[in-house]
């Protein structure tokens, strides 16, 4: 196990990863939250300095075809939410549920003081998936009622 | 923000991670400081940022450096050496500097003690007064000009009240000396802390004003050879003292001009930003202030992300000396700023050497980046849709 990875680690790629996501964020924007294929997650609080809104668009096969985010927060928070939107595209709902904050933190090399940003991003995707699931259930219930 | 139980949980899950890549010790990543704006060497051909952080520190005025240099290499004697010319000439320079400092605040030179900086002066004032204090007296300590929002306290009135109640009055004037007119007699100040590097003087030197009439008795913080009338032992660093003296004399000469220049630039900066960007709040009293310290809150944009966006300008949010903590500014909290606005504040520091071009660049960059960050902000989006943010039940973390 090499020890020299630690010294080049902090200053090299990882710093630029966060800066890259922050300066060229992917998938900033909004989807139509009234659409039945869109799930919206809103997590965090302005008083804490961190709010993330994450939206996913799911096709009829249960695959996530689009994702958008908007974040009020520091560079690490913006990078974490941007990264998550990149990761969920093309995944199924079940796969998206397995995204962990530790993966996000590892990818962006977040220092301990910024780990909560990755946790909030995980909460955001889970909230979006939950919202989509609830919407689908409501649609099913409506369909059942209509056929009776 | 991050509770102890949550942090131990995170560290636990992180330690269990199998990959060798995740061995980040705190030495490889700068965890001191609230943000991933880390210390790093400048890239090749990368320009240094503009300096707009004059409250954190100031560059030395070249005239101060000129005054100091001979005392570094030629007139290098110990000012306390009584027996030869090296000592005499250094002592003479030190006393001249003492007078320059005293004149700036309308004090007697015998009332000035050289220290290593305003922090030491503050400690001396507060800790040592405890030793000699009578049971019924106490100490009032107030900042003259606040370093985060620039607000100036009604020192004259406070001094009058303290004197009438027989209470010692100390003020930390680090951000005020040489920037606003000070008269320790009019203000009825008993103790005043002065900092060299806040007024275009050298770092590592400051002074403490100690009133003689009515006498303020003190016990020394530092014992040794009895220098500075026993109040602060240790060889007075002649070059630094000369530098502080020169900085004070220059400040006295240029006080009015500097004040007008800084006011002009400050007004220019604030007007430019506020005319282009809505929902910007200036923190602190608009009248009772030193104009060079401007603290603005940009609603719906987080302060650290804005600082990162303005990477071509050296700015700060919150004060430099407390930047290791995660809490938003205690000063903003104390003046009743909303918590979300406290997370959205930036301090602009303008000084003697700031130019109009720098201010214009900063304003333009700021306007541009605030607009960009607002496009990325869910709060801005909600406000545009007419939602009242205060009515939302946020998920706490």
- Angstrom distance (rounded) from CA B140 to CA B187: 13
**Residue range A101-115, pLDDT digits in tens:** 999 999 998 888 888
pLDDT(B21) > 70: no
Encoded tokens for B47 = 């320009």
- The pair phi, psi for residue B210, each rounded to 5°, is -125, 115
Per-residue pLDDT band at B141 (split at 50, 70, 90): confident
- The pair phi, psi for residue B138, each rounded to 5°, is -150, -170
Q: What percent of chain B has pLDDT over 70?
A: 85
Number of Cβ within a 10 Å radius of residue A126: 16
Residues in chain B within 8 Å Cβ distance of A74: 34-36, 302, 304-305, 308
Task: Specify the 3-state DSSP secondary structure of B298.
Answer: strand
Helices B85-104/B238-276 angle, 10° precision:
30
Report the residue from A46, A49, A70 with minimal CB separation from B381.
A70
* Interface pTM, i.e. ipTM: 0.86
Q: Does A2 touch chain B (CB under 8 A)?
A: yes
**Whole-number pLDDT of residue A65:** 94
Report the residue from B21, B24, B305 with minimal CB separation from A78.
B305
How many residues appear in chain B? 397
Residues in chain A within 8 Å Cβ distance of B381: 30, 53, 70
Residue B267, min C-alpha distance to chain A (Å): 28
Among A105, A113, A125, pick the best mutation site for testing chain B contact (most B Cβ within 10 A). Answer: A113
pLDDT(B272) > 60: yes
**Residue range A31-65, pLDDT digits in tens:** 998 898 999 999 998 888 889 999 999 998 989 99
Q: Are B55 and B145 in contact (CB under 8 A)?
A: no
Per-residue pLDDT band at B44 (split at 50, 70, 90): confident
**Whole-number pLDDT of residue A47:** 83
Instruction: Tally C-beta pairs within 8 A across A and B.
Output: 152
Hunting for tokens 């001191």 — which residue is that? Answer: B32
- Angstrom distance (rounded) from CA B126 to CA B141: 8
**Whole-number pLDDT of residue A4:** 35
Q: Stretch B142-163: mean pLDDT, rounded?
A: 90
Q: Are A73 and A102 in contact (CB under 8 A)?
A: no
**Whole-number pLDDT of residue A72:** 93
CA distances (Å), origin B351, targets B207, B224, B348? 21, 38, 10
**Whole-number pLDDT of residue B122:** 92
Encoded tokens for A60 = 């009829």
Strand partners, A69: A28, A54
Q: Stretch B360-378: mean pLDDT, rounded?
A: 96
- The reply to whether residue B302 touches residue A73, judged by beta carbons under 8 angstroms, is yes
pLDDT(B11) > 70: no
Nearest CA in chain B to A18: B36
| Catalytic center residues of A | 48, 117
Q: Are B208 and B191 in contact (CB under 8 A)?
A: yes
Q: Are B111 and B104 in contact (CB under 8 A)?
A: no
Encoded tokens for A52 = 């993330």
* Residue predicted with more confidence, A1 or B135: B135
Residues in chain A within 8 Å Cβ distance of B31: 111-113
Task: Specify the 3-state DSSP secondary structure of B304.
Answer: helix
Q: Stretch B99-109: mean pLDDT, rounded?
A: 97
- Angstrom distance (rounded) from CA A58 to CA A62: 6
Going by the DSSP 8-state scheme, the letter that residue B57 receives in this structure is -
- Angstrom distance (rounded) from CA B320 to CA B389: 31
Q: Does A80 touch chain B (CB under 8 A)?
A: no
Nearest CA in chain B to A41: B395
Range B155-181 burial, b when 16+ CB lie within 10 A, else e: beebbeebbeeeebbbbbbbbbbbbbe
**Residue range B342-364, pLDDT digits in tens:** 889 999 999 999 999 999 999 99
Q: Are B377 and A71 in contact (CB under 8 A)?
A: yes
Q: What is the residue-averaged pLDDT of chain B? A: 85
* Residue predicted with more confidence, B137 or A35: A35
């Amino acid at each position: 196990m090499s020890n020299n990875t630690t010294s080049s680690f902090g200053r090299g790629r990882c710093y630029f990863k966060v800066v890259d996501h922050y300066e060229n964020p992917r998938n900033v924007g909004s989807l139509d939250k009234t659409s039945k294929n869109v799930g919206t997650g809103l997590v965090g609080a302005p008083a804490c300095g961190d709010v993330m809104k994450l939206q996913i668009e799911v096709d009829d096969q249960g695959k996530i075809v689009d994702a958008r985010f908007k974040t009020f927060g520091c560079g690490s928070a913006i990078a974490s939410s941007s990264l998550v939107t990149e990761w969920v595209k093309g995944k199924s709902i079940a796969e998206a549920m397995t995204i962990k904050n530790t993966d996000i933190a590892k990818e962006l090399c977040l220092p301990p003081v910024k780990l909560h940003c990755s946790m909030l991003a995980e909460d955001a995707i889970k909230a979006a998936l939950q919202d989509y699931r609830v919407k689908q259930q409501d649609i099913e219930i409506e369909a059942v009622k209509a056929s009776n | 923000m991050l509770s102890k139980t949550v942090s131990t949980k995170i560290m636990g899950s992180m330690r269990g991670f199998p990959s060798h890549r995740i061995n980040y010790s705190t030495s490889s990543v700068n965890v001191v400081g609230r943000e991933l704006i880390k210390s790093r060497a400048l890239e090749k051909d990368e320009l240094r940022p503009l300096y707009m952080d004059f409250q954190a520190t100031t560059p030395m005025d070249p005239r101060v450096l000129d005054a100091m240099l001979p005392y570094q290499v030629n007139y290098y004697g110990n000012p306390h050496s009584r027996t030869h010319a090296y000592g005499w000439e250094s002592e003479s320079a030190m006393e001249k500097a003492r007078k320059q400092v005293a004149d700036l605040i309308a004090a007697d030179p015998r009332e000035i003690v050289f220290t290593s900086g305003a922090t030491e002066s503050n400690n001396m004032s507060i800790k040592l007064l405890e030793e000699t204090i009578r049971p019924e007296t106490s100490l009032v300590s107030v900042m003259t000009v606040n370093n985060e929002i620039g607000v100036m306290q009604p020192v004259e009135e406070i001094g009058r009240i303290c004197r009438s109640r027989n209470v010692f009055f100390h003020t930390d004037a680090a951000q005020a000396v040489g920037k606003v007119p000070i008269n320790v007699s009019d203000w009825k100040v008993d103790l005043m802390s002065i900092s060299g590097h806040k007024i275009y003087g050298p770092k590592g030197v400051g002074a403490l004003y100690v009133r003689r009439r009515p006498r303020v008795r003190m016990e020394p913080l530092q014992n040794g050879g009895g220098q500075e009338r026993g109040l602060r032992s240790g060889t007075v660093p002649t070059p630094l003292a000369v530098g502080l003296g020169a900085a004070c004399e220059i400040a006295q000469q240029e006080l009015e001009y500097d004040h007008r220049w800084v006011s002009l630039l400050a007004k220019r900066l604030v007007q430019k930003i506020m005319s282009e960007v809505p929902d910007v709040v200036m923190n602190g009293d608009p009248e009772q202030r030193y104009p060079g310290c401007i603290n603005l809150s940009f609603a719906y944009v987080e302060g650290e992300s804005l600082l990162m966006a303005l990477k071509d300008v050296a700015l700060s949010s919150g004060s430099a000396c407390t930047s290791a903590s995660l809490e938003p500014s205690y000063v903003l909290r104390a003046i009743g700023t909303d918590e979300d606005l406290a997370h959205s504040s930036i301090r602009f520091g303008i000084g003697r050497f700031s130019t109009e071009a720098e201010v214009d660049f900063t304003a333009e960059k700021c306007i541009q980046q605030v607009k960009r960050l607002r496009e990325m902000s869910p709060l801005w989006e909600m406000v545009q849709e007419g939602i009242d943010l205060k009515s939302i039940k946020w998920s706490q973390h």
